[in-house]
Amino acid sequence: MHEPGRSGNLIILCTHNDGGVGKTTLAVHIAGVLLSRGYSVLLVDCDDQADLWQFFTKGKIPTQSKDSEDLENSKLIWDKDKGSLKGKANPAYFDHVVLDIDTPLQNTVQVIL
Ligand SMILES: Nc1ncnc2c1ncn2[C@@H]1O[C@H](COP(=O)(O)OP(=O)(O)O)[C@@H](O)[C@H]1O
Ligand SMILES: [Mg+2]
């Protein structure tokens, strides 16, 4: 974890209107690189199918939207309702944020974060 407000944070959107185009695959790989380098990462899975979530929880099925799992110094959240994460996770406390989301609308991402 780092001090809030430090510069250099990335918010990485893996997004597209269509399914089956590689959003989750890209999110898994980017997250894997960042995690393996020791960064603290907030991973947000906004897909009903929870594929990103299941990859990092070894197949666990989330029960309700906003379920979260701690991954060492990182955190994984399933936000299928694409609602605000206020009170659940503060992106400012993570080095980077990776979102797997099927809409590129910037205001949706602003609402979430
Ligand atoms: N760069 C790629 N080259 C070839 N196949 C890919 C690539 N990225 C993803 N795939 C495959 O495409 C399929 C859909 O990928 P997925 O990441 O689940 O898409 P999405 O999350 O957009 O629905 C999967 O079978 C995945 O293995
Ligand atoms: Mg997907």
Q: What is the pLDDT of residues 57-96, one digit of tens each?
A: 999 999 999 999 999 999 999 999 999 999 999 999 999 9
* R_g of the chain, CA atoms, integer Å: 13
40 domain residue, yes or no: yes
The reported pLDDT for the residue numbered 8 is 67
Q: Which two tokens stand for residue 87?
A: 């009170």
For residue 18, pLDDT beyond 70 = yes
Ligand 1 atom 17: the closest Cα is on which residue?
A: 22
17 lines ligand 1 (CB under 6 A): no
What separation in Å is there between the alpha carbon of 94 and the centre of ligand 1? 27
Please tell me if the CB atom of residue 22 comes closer than 6 angstroms to any atom of ligand 1: yes
Domain span at 18: 10-82
Check whether 105 has a pLDDT greater than 80: no
Three-state DSSP at 20 gives coil
Residue 43 resides in a domain: yes
Question: Is residue 96 within 8 Å of 1, Cβ to Cβ?
Answer: no
Neighbours of 10 (CB within 10 A): 12
Q: Which atom of ligand 1 is nearest to the CA of 100?
A: 21
If one counts the domains in the chain, the total is: 1
Whether 91 maps to a domain, the answer reads no
pLDDT confidence of residue 2: 52
Q: Is residue 76 part of a domain?
A: yes
Q: Is 68 in the pocket of ligand 1 (CB under 6 A)?
A: no
Average pLDDT across the chain, whole number: 91
Which helix or strand (DSSP H or E) is residue 24 part of?
helix 23-36
Q: How far apart are CA 10 and CA 6, in angstroms?
A: 11
Would residue 53 count as lying in a domain?
yes
Identify which ligand lies nearest to the alpha carbon of 52. 2
